[in-house]
Chain A
Amino acid sequence: MTTLMINGKQYELDAEDDMPLLWVIRDIAGLTGTKFGCGIGMCGACSIHLDGELVRSCMMSFGAAKDKAITTIEGLGSEQGLHPVQQAWIDKDVSQCGYCQPGQIMAAAALLRENPNPSEDEIRTKMTNYCRCGTYLQIFEAVKQAAQLQGEQS
């Protein structure tokens, strides 16, 4: 049994060291907001934060994640409410099927944490998650909105 810190809570988890973190999060910890899209780190649907860094959890092993603090989409907000990125996503009607969006939101939150005022090119560089429904233009708008919201809140 290994203890893993997810969203500020300790989880006791029984899994092999080489199990991809994505499956530990989904199947063992039961947090299903993080999605499987490709299993090879290409689509970004599995994006989480590991000690604040954006990571594609399908490409990280359980063993490598021990002793680190994980944040999933479920833990992005706080008692105060939604994360500015989540609020912007809602305000800008971004989601179509919604499947890729938790990953998109985690990527956007990581971007704005490092770079509170990104240019369009900087947004493109970080937001490499796939969206087959094609919501990219709305994602741009939402990231800009979130940057503004975040600026207002601080």
Chain B
Amino acid sequence: MHANDLELHAQGRSTFVDDIAPPAGLLHAFPVVSTIAHGLIASIDFSEALACSGVAAIMTAADIPGDNNIGNVETEEVLFAEQTVMYQGQPIALVVAESEHEARHAAARIKVDYRELPAVFDAREAHRQGLHIAPPRIFSLGDIEQAWQTCDVIVEGKTQSGAQEHVYLETQTALVYPLENGGLRVVSATQSPGMVQRVIARVLKLTMTQVEVDVLRLGGGFGGKEEQATAWAAIAALAASRLQRPVKIRLSRSDDMRWTGKRHPYDADFKIGLDRSGKILAYDVNFYQNAGAVADLSLAILERTLFHACNSYFIPNVRASAVSCRTNLPPNTAFRGFGGPQAMFVLEAAIFKAAAALQIDAAEIQRLNLMQEGQAFPYGMPAIECRAGLCWERLQENLALSRRQQAINDFNASHRLEKKALALMPICFGISFTATFLNQAGALVHIYADGSVGVSCGAVEMGQGVKQKIGNIVASTFSIDRERVKVESTNTSRIANMSPTAASVGADLNGQATLLACRQILQGLKRVAAGLLDIEAKADKIVIEQERVYFNGQPTAIGWNQLISEAYLSRTALSAHAHYATPGVYFDRSKEQGRPFAYHVYGCAAVEVTVDCLRGIYRIDEVAIVHDGGKSLAPEVDLGQVEGGLMQGLGWMTIEDIRHDSQGRLLNDTLTAYKIPDIHFAPEINVEFVAKDNPAAILHSKAVGEPPFMYGIGVYFALIKAIQAFNPAFEPEFTAPMTPEKVLLALYAES
């Protein structure tokens, strides 16, 4: 029986990379990594390691046939450090052995002699030293210098938001098979099969046609496998190519946490000016991004920070600057939200501080400044089909907000050691890759002689349900039973030059390409049907409905199987490849103006918390959301994305606290030391979807992967409000995460 993913997962029958039966002759690769944050490699002694049992080879940069470079299109990044190491965890060499145990054993016996250099771990410190990945960028709107004069109140402040570890339950893994003629087949747990293919070809001096990358599914990605699966796949490929044997690499949880990048921590300075009523007139913000040692996606993330500096609000005078700072940490990378959450956190902090100065509730300022139809974002694009106000109003109604707030006030008045609070969090997130050239996708559809349909596209399934959506599109376009449709693995031999599955646009881009490919085939099928009916093939008169051909609204005797059979016999194409590029998106970086997004997703959340004022621990009671969801391609999938994204956002703001020691060593490299949301943490979540058509995207749906993450920011401000209900003297410093420890200190802070 043809089982779907839900059925496979429930029976433990879904295959992840490490589940693939080990091929004969399999070797295991284990990287040797830097144990210091910054320094020169003086010497490496491999002698003891080479003598270890089971060792097939030890390789370094000197063994790379092509370029020692795993960077993406615009940046360079070495696979193996040669003279200089830039972060703890940077690969220096590779041990290949008959077993994972033997590889690890030998790697531990490689002695690296370093000459340490000074290291920087803090973004502001890196900035002071001029350690920038690229020059700063500035987005501006209006005339901010003039605007300050017109403000009734101006507040300034600083913020800091922390790193976040992805904790995809499936760690970084790759399995590489050598093929004939120098080729390789790479099974990689990556969100970017195209990048893995391109990089391996570059590193091994092969053509891309010699490298096939296949991805069936990921055990979670969240951005952590967008760039950072590449190094491990390249390492395994280097070994497989040299030794002409299959090679697997699989990181342990601790190694994965230590050696891979995180969500970018940001420091920021803000200055915000308002009139007496709470209207924001001016906003000046400087972002300092902690990039880690190498660019990775830092500049694209920095760009999105600027794009989302004003979140869901219209601010007529803005100056937002952002600079990516180089530090001696593992290169930070994509993580759901991609710089957007970090930007929004700062503005919400500024609003909170301004509200205190005006002696009004922050919600007053939020409401007053929500984006309206046609108003411009600082990058020049107007808000079209703006739903900021709609979602805000609907949430107020759903919650009966004033009554809810009254109940909270009453509770706080009658409870000394427990305090409740509620904070609102409106969001607005732009949909498209900000790098315009990535907004393209391909799809390949085959109808087989038995009437079953296979579809391949560039979208990688990582739990976001994109394959389900793609399959739904095929089934609905042909109007056939969903059971007939198989969504194939994501494979570079079937689809070339794929963009990563990221930016929430997997379904948008690949869905459109899929639709186009299906429509191509459908045209041919209608001609075949017309031939069978012995009539003229008028496309509007012939439709397929539930596996039957209809002519002029009447069912004919021709069913799907017969139609396909006749198409084949009449030599009509039953396969098609189509390409899609998002129309109308462009951005001029010389002016920092353009239309970078196809559309925006809006929404509003209310986060309610209860704080135990004796212990500092807290409970997130409920999150109510009104989410601008478009016409959903799969409602149960979208609900899962909202709940899951929110959960990660809540975790980022509260319990997920990344720390390093003074040498740049990650202190929380296990799941005992790094806490992610569990079932105790999960609040009640109530989501209402505003299901208005979105003509800008596939079948009028809206992208959903990332936007819900940002609802989680609301918990930070709810906690501050609750703390202040107990300790009115508490003045927040706006550093996230707001751990229970910080809450306890805040509850008893003196002014």
Contact = CB atoms under 8 A, between A and B. Distances in A.
B670 A38 contact: yes
B11 interface: yes
Given A72-B12, A102-B12, A128 B678 contact: yes
Interface string B629-649: 000000011001001111110
B10 A35 contact: no
Contact of B678 (A93, A130, A137): A130
Contacts, number: 152
B21 A89 contact: no
Given A97-B219, A135-B640, A128 B11 contact: no
Interface in A79-103: 82, 86-87, 89-90, 93-102
A27 B22 CA distance: 9
Contacts of A64: none
A89 B9 CA distance: 9
Contacts of B13: 33, 74
B11 A132 contact: no
Contact of A97 (B11, B217, B252, B253): B217
B592 interface: no
Interface residues of B, number: 53
Contacts of B14: 98
B671 A42 contact: yes
Contacts of B219: 35, 97-100
A93 B220 contact: no
A105 B219 CA distance: 16
A112 interface: no
Interface of chain A: mostly helix, strand, loop or mixed: loop
Contact of A137 (B7, B12, B168, B643): B643
Contacts of B678: 128, 130, 136
Contacts of A151: none
Contact of B465 (A37, A38, A40, A96): A96
A137 B647 CA distance: 11
B187 to A, nearest CB: 14
A5 B626 CA distance: 51
B464 A96 contact: yes
Contact of B169 (A94, A99, A138): A99
Contacts of A39: 252-253
Contacts of B672: 40, 42
Interface in B646-675: 646-648, 670-672
B679 A86 contact: no
Contacts of A43: 169, 671
A127 B12 contact: no
Given A35-B219, A43-B169, A97 B462 contact: yes
Contacts of A95: 5-6, 9-10, 463
Nearest to B166: A132
B669 to A, nearest CB: 11
Contact of A77 (B11, B166, B167, B643): B11
A37 B18 CA distance: 12
Chain B CB within 10 Å — which of A38, A39, A76, A105 has the most?
A38
B220 A97 contact: yes
Contact of B671 (A40, A90, A133, A135): A40
Contacts of B171: 36
Given A38-B670, A95-B5, A133 B463 contact: yes
B7 A37 contact: no
Given A38-B253, A97-B217, A127-B679, A138 B670 contact: no
Contact of B5 (A33, A42, A98, A133): A98
Interface in B453-473: 462-465
Contacts of A101: 9-10
Contacts of A42: 670-672
Interface string B1-31: 0000111111111111011011000000000
A52 interface: no
A113 interface: no
A66 interface: no
Contacts of B168: 97, 99, 132
Given A98-B463, A130-B671, A132-B676, A82 B636 contact: no
A105 B171 CA distance: 21
A4 interface: no
Contacts of B646: 134
B461 to A, nearest CB: 8
B363 interface: no
Contacts of B682: 134, 136-137
A145 B253 CA distance: 33
A77 B7 CA distance: 12
Contacts of A128: 678-680
Contacts of B7: 90
Contacts of A131: 169
Given A32-B19, A43-B169, A139-B679, A82 B11 contact: yes
B616 interface: no
A122 to B, nearest CB: 12
B640 A138 contact: yes
A90 B636 CA distance: 12
A16 to B, nearest CB: 10
B222 A132 contact: yes
B685 interface: yes
A101 to B, nearest CB: 5
- What 7 A-B pairs come out closest when comparing CB atoms? A33-B12, A97-B463, A99-B219, A98-B9, A134-B647, A134-B644, A73-B12
23 contacts: A27-B22, A35-B170, A42-B672, A43-B169, A43-B671, A74-B11, A86-B10, A86-B11, A90-B7, A93-B640, A97-B220, A102-B9, A102-B12, A128-B679, A132-B167, A132-B222, A132-B676, A134-B646, A136-B643, A136-B647, A136-B678, A136-B679, A138-B643
Given A42-B670, A90-B10, 18 more contacts: A33-B12, A36-B171, A40-B670, A86-B11, A87-B10, A89-B10, A93-B640, A96-B463, A98-B217, A99-B168, A99-B220, A100-B169, A133-B640, A134-B644, A134-B645, A134-B648, A136-B682, A140-B679
